[in-house]
Chain A
Amino acid sequence: MTTSGAHSWLLAALLLVPLLGAVVVTALRGNDHTAKLAALAFSVAEFVLAIVSWVNFQPGGDRLQQGFSLTWIPSFGVHISFAVDGIALVMIAVIGLLVPLVIGAGWVDKLPEGRTKGGFFALILLEQALTVGVFAATDVFLFYVLFEIMLIPMYFLIGSYGGARRQYAAVKFFLYSFLGGLIMLASVIGCYSMAVDELGAGTFDWAKLVQVVHDAPLSTQIWLFFGFFIAFAVKAPLVPLHTWLPDATAEAPIGVAVLLVGILDKVGTFGFLRYLLPMFPDASKELAPLVLVLAVAGVVYGSLLATGQRDMKRFLAYVSIAHFGFIALGIFSFSSQSLTGSVTYMVNHSIATGMLILVVGMVIARGGGSTRVADYGGMAKLTPLLGGVLLIAGLSTLSLPGTNSFVSEFLVLIGSFPNAPVYTTIATVGMIFAALYVLWLYQRIMQGPLRGDALLPGVPSAETPGTDGSGAVLTAQAATGTKKIVDLDTREKLVLAPLILLVVGLGLYPKPVLDTVTPTVDATMCQAALVDPVQPAERQVQCR
């Protein structure tokens, strides 16, 4: 075992702790309570580890830190080698943050009969371990392996714990990603055999492969590019490869939806940054217009469809699709601002949308599980706090200045503008749509007179807003309590508090994240031989 850089034990621990957790929790699944506590303990431990590893990360230092490597399949030069750079690090931190919250949010959820909390949380921890691995893998073969394995726990999470059409959703999710992955496999093999030709001995080491592939002839690059691109475009759903996401999100339990949108999909955009740009710079430049079109299409298309949804969870899926459009836009407009923006967008989207999903989940829980927007209305009267957090999550989703998402969206747009003014302008107009769908949702659920089947069973749900008078009547009914709807309890507050803190904190002082990410982004730009359109007055970004 060779280690590169200090603190490689941290990374190893980051990989093993959730794995161990999964095992332990499975063992304890007989007793719900202990299992839940164990799961929470492990996830919190993982979060602490993530923070420690962040603290020990030197942004100025090597690109890849805290790494270690073991030989796996010598005949193919496959190694089990992990390491983190700035981008992977922040994503791992986000995973560490979200999982405990998801566990907390799912604390009291009702599961389908015959399923145990233990099993549920164990799968989540397993998924966590795998995703950490995906972000940290520095061996392309290993990356591919984890990229595919990652599907299986998620497949069972959706299929076993999901809603009515969960089988359809699970299979659809799996097949989409699996097909994408297989096509990527072709490209992986292609790169490998290029390495064989160039170096004599084949290797899957990411850094070496970059060296081998990145000056291949354009035609070759384009083929290999597409192999990776399709896989990643399915994961980070770019229109038109997105249709699995609404189904998956709609059927998955809330916590799983958070992981799906907040973490799994990020693997796609992460792949853009880690694999497409460095390995196929020419192809990336050549095909950037294509990707930009898809990205901007995603922004507009996703936003419009979000406004057209009747189901809250599908709504969330389309919102994410729009956001992934922004991320892709930032990545493929090739400026350090836009790239940094995209990375921070990945982080902030996980936080903001994660929060939004959790809050919507709390709304749904109060509405007796109905996900139809039309079943709700005027809830803020009964649950002002819930209304408040929904609004905060919404504002962060529409990236209002002062919330974390603003920083990233601003960076993406301002960074993309110099290279891709037209696309950026269209995307900027997308900001209006964002406001539209968020406020629409907030109005339908929280504002107006109290209404909706979910809140007032028996009272016909008013598609058209009822008059104020009837609203008053309904309020009276609710007060007399045909159905008891309570505001946030302590557990929910505890789950949401850190998110709100981050939403505001990172909105006002994003520097820590930016400083961690920017050096890695600069390194990526150098690998892809990209130059900032707007150069800093005093210094030019130096390539190591």
Chain B
Amino acid sequence: MSVISSVLLLAQEQPAAPPTQVEAPSVTAIWPILIVLGAACVSVLLEALLPRHLRWSSQVVLSLLTIAGAGLALVIYLKDAPVKGEVVLNGTLVVDRPGLFLWGTLLALSLGAVLLIADRSVEPGGAFVASAAIRPGTIQDRAQVASTGMQTEVFPLTLFALGGMMTFCVANDLLTMFVALEVLSLPLYLMCGLARRRRLLSQEAAVKYFLLGAFASAFFLYGVALLYGYSGSVRMSDIASAAAGSDRSDTLLFAGMGLLVVGLLFKASVGPFHTWTPDVYQGAPTPVTAFMGACTKVAAFGGILRVLQVAFQSTQWEWRGVLWGVAIVSMVIGAVLGLTQTDVKRMIAYSSVAHAGFLLIGAIALTQKGLSGTLFYLLTYGFTTLAAFGVISLVRDSSGEATHLSQWAGLAKRSPLLAGVFTFLLLALAGIPLTSGFVGKFVVFEAALSDGMGPLVVIALIASAVAAFFYLRVIVLMYFSEPAADGPTVTVPGAFTTAAITLGVLVTLLLGVAPAFALDWAGSGAFAIQ
């Protein structure tokens, strides 16, 4: 990072200026990032050096320690962190309250995700292929399915992705944002392709995600270029001031912004840029899906919030209407298409599209309320989704996970506990009171309404009523239908998965019953603009 930053520093300096003026950057603020990325590099080395049988354990320990350490660093920094945030690395990163909140969220969520990834009790050897090089359908493939080996590169990849996400949330200029975007995306592309079973689907998911992701980042990048052309800088604050008054043609501004936002919306799987979501969610190994579903959403919306509030605050009256439209499209697509899904993971994917719509409503309410509401919503949504995918990974039959809805019929009779937990999570997704989902919706809609977006809120409410139907469908299946004869079995999860699910459920419940403290954190400060 520091290298990049210093070079960038050069870029921002006048050419004449001698490089000697670079002073050692203060890094206390970004220790969490440094820890994560550093650990990522270390774990790559571990992959290279350790014998196979030691890798899994050491990787798990390392990852968990890393996240714990990063969290610790975060907490320590929080004690004396300036409320208005501070700029580090010569303005490439700005560590402010929202950024810190997002970091906390990301670290907590990735902790759960890592636990899911590391689990080897549900599927002997874990959810990941023993060796990605083996061709699907061959004898070796069948052997690897039985084996207990696992492609432990997943862990460094996870850490890199996490680092990218954390950077993405605090990037103060668009170029850093782009780099972070790639840093978080590339590992995910790979992780999608590493499923132990149904590898064809897994690889297909990887290809789709990759191609479309690359396509999207091209858009993002072109948007950056145009904005650079418009304002002569990629720093958000500069763009903002330029937008306030600049002689350049606004075509550059708005075209650039459009492309930029599209790139971001893609990552956040907001309709109509959601098309990859169902396929990838379904195809990827469930732990990875959980990681994507929870963390990518958080990071992407962190970016969207920052871009909109910092860079495009002044022009909101031009673009707001457009994003209204996008939000509506996203909610409608998510709610309506979810109705007829037959695969649980796809269903959750569409629900995530709908939720992206709700989140966008909060994001375009450019108020403190809108900011804190959206942040809170991200927190709640992340944990609920994480736990949901954790539960999904437990329902299995001979050929792996049984994600087809028909296989879930009468599950409540087989395993009341699992059915109960999943029902609770679904109700949270539907936004029933006493779950975090309700409080999240409440704060977001409250912000939107007080920012004069009444109609949008009403549409959102109707959409969530429609969406409620497909959550109910699953509940009806689990409780009111007779179980299928050769239905799936519910695996008793090991410590890791149990821990992850418990974490998600507890947070969902806690934030539903006593959200006060989290709301205070989310509302503790605005973006730093400099």
Contact = CB atoms under 8 A, between A and B. Distances in A.
A149 B432 contact: yes
A166 interface: yes
Interface string A238-251: 00000000000000
B449 A182 contact: no
A497 interface: no
B433 A144 contact: yes
B518 to A, nearest CB: 10
Contacts of B427: 152
A152 B515 contact: no
Chain B contact residues (Cβ within 8 angstroms of A): what range? Answer: 20 to 34
A166 B479 CA distance: 12
Contact of B465 (A72, A171, A182): A182
A114 interface: yes
A479 interface: no
B425 to A, nearest CB: 14
B515 A193 contact: no
Given A167-B476, A170-B480, A193-B450, A75 B520 contact: yes
Contacts, number: 83
Given A156-B479, A193-B446, A175 B461 contact: no
A171 B479 CA distance: 12
Contact of B450 (A72, A149, A196): A196
A189 B442 contact: yes
Contacts of A182: 461-462, 464-465
Contact of B468 (A149, A167, A175, A189): A175
B27 interface: no
A148 interface: yes
B389 to A, nearest CB: 23
B445 A75 contact: no
A193 B479 contact: no
> Interface of chain A, helix or strand or loop or mixed?
helix
B523 interface: yes
Contacts of A149: 432-434
Contacts of A159: 476, 479-480
B519 A75 contact: yes
A149 B473 CA distance: 18
Given A75-B523, A196-B450, A114 B476 contact: no
Contacts of B515: 73
A305 interface: no
- Of B445, B472, B480, the most chain A CB neighbours within 10 A belong to B480
Chain A contact residues (Cβ within 8 angstroms of B): what range? Answer: 20 to 34
Given A73-B515, A145-B434, A149-B432, A189 B476 contact: no
Nearest to A146: B433
A183 B450 contact: no
Interface string A63-76: 00000000011111
Nearest to A78: B516
Given A73-B516, A75-B523, A159-B476, A186 B449 contact: yes
A418 interface: no
- Of B433, B465, B516, the most chain A CB neighbours within 10 A belong to B433
Contacts of B304: none
B492 interface: no
B472 to A, nearest CB: 5
A165 to B, nearest CB: 11
A179 interface: yes
A437 interface: no
Interface string B410-442: 000100000000000001001011100011001
A148 B465 contact: no
Interface string A184-195: 011001101100
Contacts of A146: 433
Contacts of B442: 185, 189
Interface in B458-486: 458, 461-462, 464-465, 468-469, 472-473, 476, 479-481
A195 B272 CA distance: 37
Contacts of A171: 469, 472-473, 476
Contacts of A185: 442, 445, 461
Nearest to A185: B461
B350 to A, nearest CB: 18
Nearest to A182: B461
Contacts of B514: 72-73
Contacts of A175: 465, 468-469, 472
A193 B449 contact: yes
A225 interface: no
B449 A170 contact: no
Interface in A317-363: none
- Of B430, B439, B465, B469, the most chain A CB neighbours within 10 A belong to B465
A182 to B, nearest CB: 4
> Interface of chain B, helix or strand or loop or mixed?
helix
Contacts of A54: none
Given A156-B479, A193-B450, A186 B433 contact: no
A63 to B, nearest CB: 26
A135 interface: no
Contacts of B445: 185-186, 189
Nearest to B461: A182
Nearest to B477: A167
Given A145-B433, A148-B433, A185-B445, A178 B465 contact: yes
Interface in B91-146: none
Contact of A114 (B413, B458, B516, B519): B413
B349 interface: no
B458 A183 contact: yes
A283 B432 CA distance: 29
B457 interface: yes
Contacts of B461: 182-183, 185-186
B140 to A, nearest CB: 45
A302 B313 CA distance: 55
Contacts of B465: 175, 178-179, 182
Nearest to B482: A114
Interface string A440-474: 00000000000000000000000000000000000
Interface in B351-368: none
Contacts of A166: 480
A73 B476 contact: no
B457 A186 contact: yes
A73 B519 contact: yes
A223 to B, nearest CB: 8
A30 to B, nearest CB: 13
Interface in B265-320: none
A82 interface: no
Nearest to B465: A179
Interface string B510-522: 0000111001100
Contacts of B469: 171, 175
Contacts of A189: 442, 445-446, 449, 457
B474 to A, nearest CB: 12
Nearest to A196: B450
- Of B427, B445, B446, B462, the most chain A CB neighbours within 10 A belong to B446
A425 B481 CA distance: 49
Contacts of A74: 516
Contacts of A160: 479-480
Given A76-B519, A174-B468, 12 more contacts: A72-B516, A148-B433, A159-B476, A159-B479, A171-B476, A175-B469, A178-B468, A182-B465, A183-B461, A186-B445, A189-B446, A190-B449
24 contacts: A72-B516, A73-B514, A75-B516, A75-B519, A145-B438, A156-B479, A171-B476, A174-B468, A174-B472, A175-B465, A175-B472, A179-B462, A182-B464, A183-B458, A183-B461, A186-B458, A186-B461, A189-B445, A189-B457, A190-B449, A190-B454, A193-B446, A193-B450, A223-B454
Query: 8 nearest interchain CB pairs?
Result: A145-B433, A182-B461, A179-B465, A193-B450, A75-B519, A159-B480, A148-B433, A189-B446
Interface of B: 413, 427, 430, 432-434, 438-439, 442, 445-446, 449-450, 454, 457-458, 461-462, 464-465, 468-469, 472-473, 476, 479-481, 514-516, 519-520, 523
